[in-house]
Every structure is written in structure tokens, then in C-alpha cells.
């Protein structure tokens, strides 16, 4: 029997990091949770509070605080740092300079500390920071991923599920590209048990599906939440927990996450949201879809926006 404790380190325990810790605890995804934050009082407070909550959970969880560089034994390091909240009207790309500087300070110290697990990046702009972590770490690309468009994909499935009255898990639809304004739903591959989504929609509603309205609704959803409560946290915490679970179980499930491409989709040297098969060693393969011509153009536009921002990295 494999009795090795599953260890997750969360770096940055603000809204997202603390919620991710609670989701991992509630879903019994790890045996050990290590919290890291610049704010030592608050991170210690989170650790003590979570330890209280752990008493009500089905499994045992050891919760501690450490420096990020003390990470040689960590399986998954989740990056949820931020340099401060967005101002009204700003996009995720506006976080680049502040978050990239923080990441530049953290990752080399972790590698010097012997990290050889999987980096999971939620910090925005997610794809650009994922690429930055991959470059700074020198790890194989299979070990560096970002939450990418998996949360957006979940939002798309939920939007479809509500209208179709079919459980979201039975809907095969997903978002590709940047976790940002250039993301897009892959309608050419969207179906319910092989039945094209447009047909299922027509049968259910008697109307044609409004592709653009749905894509826009998903794209803006994060900001709908942000404008109301000043952050988003529980949804992305669920995304982080689900990705960690699929890694630990070696599920071989394909999730639309941010991966570094090396020739897939005709693209190199960029991290972007694509369906990727997850195992205990990280990304085992990237699924290459036969995209329609308009989808290829959207994907390439997304790549060019991410690459232009990679070029702005400090």
C-alpha cells in the first residue's frame, strides 16, 4: 500500500490561497498542507483556523507554515500570490508587472531548495506567469501547469446545463486559449454524448443557440463576481482542488489547463489553455484538436497576445 503523505504547498494565502486550502481540506485531497505568505501573522492564523476545521473532516490533515524555499518534500506547489487587487476597469494582464516580480523572487529559491514536484499557477495573468515559472524553474514542461481555462470551461458547462437541463458533467464543451479576454469556446467540438450542442439546444429551446452571447457571458463572469465582492475565490479554489485531485489520483483525465506548448497546435514557447491529460507526474500528453478555420484564427490570436505579454516580463 502506498502510504506516502500527499503534500501541497500554497504560496500566497490571500482570498484564493486560503479558499484553496479550505477546499483541499474539505475534499480530503492531501494529508499535508503547507501555507506560505509574506504576512506571517495572518498565515499562522489561517493554519490554526484550518487545523480547527480539520477536526470535522473525514481524513487527517497536518497543516503548517513555512518558507517557500523549504519545499524539497512538496508534491504540488500552488502559486496564488498577488501584488494587490485590480483597480476598476483593469484586466488580468494589468497584474503582470507586480505578480511577475514576486514570482521571480520566489521560484529560484524553491529550486535551490530542491523542489521537484508540480507547479500549479493560479496567479494572473495565469498563462504568462505559468510560462515564467516554467522558465525560471528549469523543470520539464510536464511539471509546470496553470489553472488556465478550466474554471472558464466549468462556467461554460454550467451555462449550457442551466438551459439544457442536463447535468454539466454530461456536457462536453470547453474553452481554449488565454485565461483572459481572448479565450473562446470550441463550438466545433461541443456535444452531449456525441449529439452536436446546437442540435440539443434547438430541440430543448426551439431556438438557435447564441454562440457569441454565451462566450461573452463566460468571458465576463469573473468580473461580474469581482465587481460585486472585490475578488473571486471559491470557484478558483474548486478548480485548484480538482486539478490537485486529478494529479494525485493519476486520473488521466483531460482538463483544459495552461500548458507549455512545444509544437502542439503549431506553436512553441508559450503557455496557453489546452486539453491536457493529468497523471501523478503532471501533464502526460496534450490533446490536439482539429479546429475549424475560425477557431484556428482565434487560437493564434490568443497565442499572439500571450507572447506579446511574455515579452514584457521583467
Ligand X SMILES: NC(=O)c1ccc[n+]([C@@H]2O[C@H](COP(=O)([O-])OP(=O)(O)OC[C@H]3O[C@@H](n4cnc5c(N)ncnc54)[C@H](O)[C@@H]3O)[C@@H](O)[C@H]2O)c1
Residue from 48, 105, 281, 304 in contact with ligand X (CB under 6 A): 105
Kindly report the number of other CB atoms within 10 A of residue 312's CB atom. 11
Question: Could you give the C-alpha distances from 226 to 9, 18, 88, 145, 218, in angstroms and in order?
Answer: 26, 17, 10, 24, 14
Which element (helix H / strand E) includes 20? helix 15-26
Site for ligand X in 131-160 (CB under 6 A): 147, 151
Structural contact between residues 42 and 22, judged by C-beta atoms closer than 8 angstroms: no
Look up residue 89 and give its three cell numbers: 476597469
> Does the protein bind ligand X through residue 81 (CB under 6 A)?
yes
> Does the protein bind ligand X through residue 190 (CB under 6 A)?
no
> Does the protein bind ligand X through residue 35 (CB under 6 A)?
no
Question: Could you give the C-alpha distances from 51 to 26, 57, 258, 270, in angstroms and in order?
Answer: 12, 10, 31, 39
The backbone region for 193, taken as left when phi is positive above 0, alpha when psi lies in -120 to 50, beta otherwise, is left
Look up residue 130 and give its three cell numbers: 505559468
Return the number of the residue (18 or 291) whose C-beta is nearest ligand X.
18
> Does the protein bind ligand X through residue 95 (CB under 6 A)?
yes
Q: Which span (6-14, 188-196, 248-256, 304-312) binds ligand X, by CB under 6 A? A: 6-14
Give residue number: closest CB to ligand X: 14
Q: Which span (51-59, 95-103, 165-173, 295-303) binds ligand X, by CB under 6 A? A: 95-103
Question: Could you give the C-alpha distances from 310 to 60, 270, 282, 313, in angstroms and in order?
Answer: 41, 8, 23, 5
For cell 509546470, name the residue: 144
Return the number of the residue (7 or 46) whose C-beta is nearest ligand X.
46
Q: Which span (58-66, 74-82, 267-275, 277-285) binds ligand X, by CB under 6 A? A: 74-82
Residue from 9, 24, 30, 36 in contact with ligand X (CB under 6 A): 36
Kindly report the number of other CB atoms within 10 A of residue 293's CB atom. 8
Residue from 5, 38, 72, 308 in contact with ligand X (CB under 6 A): 38
Whether omega before 291 lies within 30 degrees of 0, making that bond cis, reads no
Return the number of the residue (166 or 231) whose C-beta is nearest ligand X.
231
> Does the protein bind ligand X through residue 122 (CB under 6 A)?
yes
> Does the protein bind ligand X through residue 12 (CB under 6 A)?
yes
CA triple 117-122-123, angle to 5 deg: 115
> Would you call 221 a catalytic residue per the annotation?
no
Q: Which span (25-33, 79-87, 191-199, 276-284) binds ligand X, by CB under 6 A? A: 79-87
Residue from 157, 179, 221, 245 in contact with ligand X (CB under 6 A): 179
Task: Indicate which residues carry an active-site annotation.
Answer: 179
Residues engaged in binding ligand X (CB under 6 A): 11-17, 36-39, 80-82, 95, 99, 102, 105-106, 122-124, 126, 147, 151, 179, 231-232, 236
Amino acid at each position: 500500500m502506498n502510504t506516502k503523505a500527499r503534500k501541497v504547498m500554497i504560496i500566497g494565502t490571500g482570498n484564493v490561497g486560503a479558499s484553496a486550502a479550505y477546499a483541499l481540506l474539505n475534499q480530503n485531497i492531501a494529508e499535508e498542507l503547507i501555507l506560505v505568505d509574506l504576512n506571517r501573522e495572518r498565515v499562522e492564523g489561517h493554519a490554526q483556523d484550518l487545523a480547527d476545521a480539520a477536526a470535522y473532516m473525514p481524513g487527517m490533515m497536518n497543516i503548517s507554515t513555512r518558507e517557500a524555499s523549504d519545499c524539497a518534500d512538496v508534491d504540488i506547489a500552488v502559486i496564488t500570490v498577488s501584488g494587490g487587487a485590480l483597480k476598476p476597469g483593469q484586466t488580468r494582464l494589468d497584474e503582470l508587472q507586480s505578480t511577475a516580480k514576486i514570482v521571480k523572487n520566489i521560484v529560484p529559491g524553491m529550486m535551490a531548495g530542491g523542489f521537484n514536484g508540480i507547479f500549479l499557477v493560479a496567479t494572473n495573468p495565469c498563462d504568462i506567469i505559468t510560462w515564467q515559472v516554467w522558465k525560471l524553474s528549469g523543470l520539464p514542461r510536464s511539471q509546470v501547469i496553470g489553472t488556465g481555462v478550466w474554471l472558464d470551461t466549468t462556467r461554460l458547462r454550467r451555462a449550457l446545463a442551466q438551459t439544457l437541463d442536463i447535468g454539466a458533467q454530461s456536457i462536453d464543451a470547453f474553452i481554449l486559449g488565454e485565461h483572459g479576454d481572448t479565450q473562446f469556446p470550441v463550438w466545433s467540438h461541443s456535444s452531449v454524448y456525441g449529439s452536436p450542442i446546437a442540435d440539443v439546444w434547438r430541440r430543448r429551446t426551439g431556438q438557435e443557440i447564441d454562440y457569441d452571447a454565451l462566450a461573452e457571458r463566460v468571458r465576463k463572469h469573473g468580473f461580474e463576481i469581482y465587481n460585486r465582492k472585490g475578488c473571486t475565490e471559491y470557484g478558483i479554489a474548486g478548480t485548484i482542488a480538482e486539478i490537485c485531485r486529478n494529479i494525485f489520483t493519476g486520473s488521466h483525465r483531460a482538463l483544459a489547463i495552461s500548458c507549455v506548448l512545444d509544437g502542439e497546435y503549431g506553436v512553441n514557447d508559450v503557455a496557453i489553455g489546452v486539453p491536457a491529460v493529468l497523471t501523478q507526474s503532471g501533464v502526460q500528453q496534450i490533446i490536439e484538436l482539429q479546429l475549424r478555420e475560425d477557431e484556428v484564427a482565434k487560437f493564434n490570436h490568443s497565442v499572439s497576445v500571450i507572447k506579446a505579454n511574455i515579452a514584457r516580463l521583467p
